[in-house]
Amino acid sequence: MVDLRIFIDANNVTVHPQPESVDGWQLLLKHTAPNSLHNSRARYDAPKCDEDTRVEVTGEIVTFIENWDGPQRLLCMTGAAGSGKSALQQTTAEICGEKNTLGASFFFSATDPSRNTVKPVIPTIAYQLGSGNLEVKRFIKAAVEEDNLIFDKSLRDQITTLIVKPFEHLGGRGLDFNTLPLAILIDGLDESQAEHECRGKCSEDSQVGHACRRKCSEDSQAEHACRGKSAEDSQEELLAAIKECLLVDHLPFRIFIASRPEWAIRTALAPGGYLHALAYHIQLSDKYDASGDMCRYLQRRFQALSSRTGNPHWFTQNDIDRLVSAASGQFVYVAMAFNYISERRGSPAERLKIVLTWTPHDRRMARPFEALDILYRNILSTAKNAYEAVDTNGDRDFLLLLRTHHLNISARIYDWTFPANVLSMVLGLGSGGEEDLFSDLRSLLTLKKDGSGNSTLRLYHKSFSDFLEEESRAKALFVPRSRPYTHLESKESAESHFLRDLANAIHRLPWILLDANGVIGTTGIGHELADFTKKGGWHKLDRSLSALLPERGIVSSGSSFDTFLGHVRKLVVFLTSEDAAVLHKFCDKWVREREEYKLRGSYSKRSTAK
């Protein structure tokens, strides 16, 4: 309704409509995301830690939150996809709720439009802080009434207006902050998506794009305008606003943020990042072994199903150990396995057997890890769109490049993989190209650098490697093995020729030369080696290695080639003295050639420097 103010003068009657006064608290509620609360109906079955599981890390989190006088006010927990971050956040929220220390919580969800952007975060936190104290509520309400457009302003302005100033006013009035619940929990920052406002039409193939990375069809440019921030920019804005406004001495908040180690939080926490010195950082993937917790989780759950099966011995400890081993630290794996096994209309024993015998190439209809596959597909799709959107060449196939790197580390050849940085050069990505390629996949893999500057790719979970191998799981993201090999053969660089020729040379070797440790005690080895020597195998190998190995500097001390030589030398125990002498001669020759190459390279570098 509109308030009509009537003014009467000697000659006229004037009616002036006056805007109805706005209730600040009601306006705030309209901008909140109720589904994001830790105890919302939308999250009624939210994952949380079982009793006696994740005790160490939960204790570390709660201790940090309750240490109000500690030097750090921000706790950041990062971990691979499926490592249990959300369960830890939920458990922490419930513990803090019971202790009356929980000020606010916000759980992002990429699949829930009401909580998959940063836009409702500050209003939702302000609502919870105000709901816990009438004085705080009164100041927040007044702030909104004074500025009805606050929700359209920057996150920094929102925090300042809705949180900082109300608490500063109350602090100035002598309010004891120790009487207030002041822990703020934010989960799944990586699931925050781009804020996108689109006017016009986008091409169908770009619907999965994000904000400024979105592509528009050429014929719609005149009628189309895309505005908004990318997901990374929005996440960075929230982290920066928290740092600038809440991590200050005169405010008492303890903030706990959990996220996959994606770009925004990863760079902020890295040495030199703006949160590096301010945050206490827990890295789940590096420090905490959840195997024991997963065992206890499955034991308790399986025992509870015994009454339904009528057989307390329907599972064994070996069954549990196999599931935990397959999980490779991925708590979500065992949780999904149990959900499948415990389906009401199925037999737990039969379903357990399906899970234990299921392989990536199983053609049965059973898909016990479909939810996990959806998670992988979402992460890969997001990374693909982000990488290809900023590709200045316009011709780089993200999935093909990823698959090539994957095959490089998953090949069944003992101890022969090429450094990720070398392979990137071969693929034409340039120096450090692998860092850009994997930037949005850090929740699934990591790059480790050695002392020589070479980097090695490592997947956190075997299930992700299995996913990449099977078309029925990866679906539209699947890349068959033949494509990377064809792609490498099409490259014309010297590096690609070297890689292909060296790989072919290695593939021609008998398996006994590639895994000397594995042949000890195997019968027939001496005969096979004698036949290899008689047919000139060492001479053929010498021609391949002598021609190829000096061409590149990747064969350095401590490399896989040294390991290979060590394995080959062990084979002398299976040879006659005459054949052993031949083997030693070639091994010494290869070592000498490598050392000569290293000396020439060192001399060349000194000459260039001069």
pLDDT of res. 362: 46
User: Looking at residues 16-31, what average pLDDT do you find?
Assistant: 81
Q: What are phi and psi of 166, to 5 degrees?
A: -60, -40
φ, ψ for residue 448 (rounded to 5)? -110, 130
Confidence class for position 13, pLDDT limits 50, 70, 90: low
**φ/ψ of residue 110, rounded to 5:** -65, -25
**Closest to 456 measured CA to CA, from 505, 413, 415:** 415
Report the pLDDT averaged over residues 296-307: 90
- pLDDT greater than 50 at residue 415: no
If you average pLDDT over residues 217-236, what whole number do you get?
Answer: 61
Residue with tokens 């099409």: 490
Q: How far apart are CA 468 and CA 478, in angstroms?
A: 6
Q: How many CB atoms lie within 10 A of CB 488?
A: 18
What pLDDT, on a 0 to 100 scale, did the predictor assign at position 507? Answer: 47
Residue 97 identity: G
Higher pLDDT among residues 425 and 284, named by residue: 284
Question: Over the chain, what is the mean pLDDT?
Answer: 79
Which amino acid belongs to residue 370?
E
Helix (H, G, I), strand (E, B) or coil at 508: coil
- Determine the Cα–Cα distance for residues 72 and 277; give it in Å rounded to an integer: 9
Residue 134 has a pLDDT of 93
Q: What is the mean pLDDT of residues 383-400?
A: 84
pLDDT reading at 71 higher than 60: yes
In this prediction, residue 234 has a pLDDT band, given cuts at 50, 70 and 90, of very high
Least confident of 208-217, 505-514, 545-554, 556-565: 208-217
pLDDT higher than threshold 70 for residue 336? yes
Query: What is the average per-residue pLDDT within 422-444?
Result: 85
Report the distance separating Cα 169 and Cα 192, nearest Å. 32
| Ranges 54-58, 223-227, 457-461: which has the least confidence | 223-227
Query: Does the pLDDT value for residue 510 go beyond 60?
Result: no
Determine contact, residues 252/177, Cβ cutoff 8 Å. Answer: yes
The pLDDT assigned to 93 comes to 97
SS3 category, 11: coil
Q: Which of 389, 371, 416, 420 is nearest to 508 (CA)?
A: 416
Say whether pLDDT at 202 is over 70. Answer: no
Higher pLDDT, 34 or 496: 34
User: What's the pTM?
Assistant: 0.66
For residues 576 and 526, give the distance between their C-alpha atoms in angstroms, rounded to a whole number.
9
Residue 396: pLDDT over 90: no
Residue from 194, 197, 204, 210 nearest 390 by CA: 210
What is the DSSP-derived secondary structure letter of residue 576? -
- Beta-bridge mates of residue 76: 257, 281
Q: Which two tokens stand for residue 263?
A: 């770009």
Question: In which band, very low, low, confident or very high, does the pLDDT at 474 lie, cut at 50, 70 and 90?
Answer: very high
For the segment(s) 24-197+228-287, the CATH number from 3.40.980.10, 3.30.420.40, 1.10.530.10, 3.40.50.300 is: 3.40.50.300
- Sequence-ordered strand ranges (E) for 169-321: 183-187, 195-199, 225-229, 254-259, 279-283
* Confidence category of residue 205, pLDDT binned at 50, 70, 90: very low
DSSP category for residue 346: S
- The pLDDT of residue 41 is above 60: yes
Q: What is the mean pLDDT of residues 488-502?
A: 53
Percentage of the chain lying above the pLDDT 70 cut: 74
Q: Give first-to-last CA distance, the chain, whole Å.
A: 85
Beta-bridge partner residues of 280: 75
Mean pLDDT of the 319-329 span: 87
The widest CA-to-CA distance across the chain, in whole angstroms, is 129
Structure tokens, 228: 């908004």
Q: Residue 138 pLDDT more than 90?
A: yes
- Asked whether the beta carbons of 330 and 461 are under 8 A apart, the reply is yes
Confidence of residue 444 (pLDDT cuts 50, 70, 90): confident
Secondary structure letter of residue 187 according to DSSP: E
Alpha helices in 508-559 (DSSP H): 511-514, 516-519, 525-534, 537-548
CA 112 to chain centre: 20
> Residue 509: what pLDDT?
53
Q: What b/e sequence results for 372-405 when a residue is b if at least 16 CB atoms lie within 10 Å of its CB, and e otherwise?
A: bbebbbebbebbbbbbbbeeeeeebbbbebbbbb
Q: What is the mean pLDDT of residues 268-294?
A: 88
Q: In the prediction, which pLDDT does 30 show?
A: 97
Assign 207 a pLDDT band (cuts: 50, 70, 90): very low
Tell me the per-residue pLDDT of 147-190, one tens digit each, with 9 for 90 and over.
999 999 999 999 999 999 999 999 888 888 888 899 999 999 99
The model's confidence at residue 425, banded by pLDDT at 50, 70 and 90, is: confident
Q: In the chain, what are the domain boundaries?
A: 24-197+228-287, 291-368, 508-610
Q: Read off the pLDDT of residues 179-191 as tens digits, 9 standing for 90 and up.
A: 889 999 999 999 9
Whether pLDDT at 432 is above 80: yes
**pLDDT at residue 125 tops 50:** yes
Rounded to an integer, what distance in angstroms lies between the CA atom of residue 327 and that of residue 335?
A: 10
The encoded tokens of residue 339 equal: 């959900």
pLDDT digits (tens, 9 = 90+) for 365-380: 566 777 788 888 988 9
pLDDT at 14: 54
User: Does 412 score more than 50 pLDDT?
Assistant: no
Query: What integer pLDDT is reported at residue 596 of this predicted model?
Result: 67
Residue 480 has pLDDT above 70, yes or no: yes
Residue 219: pLDDT band (50, 70, 90) is very low
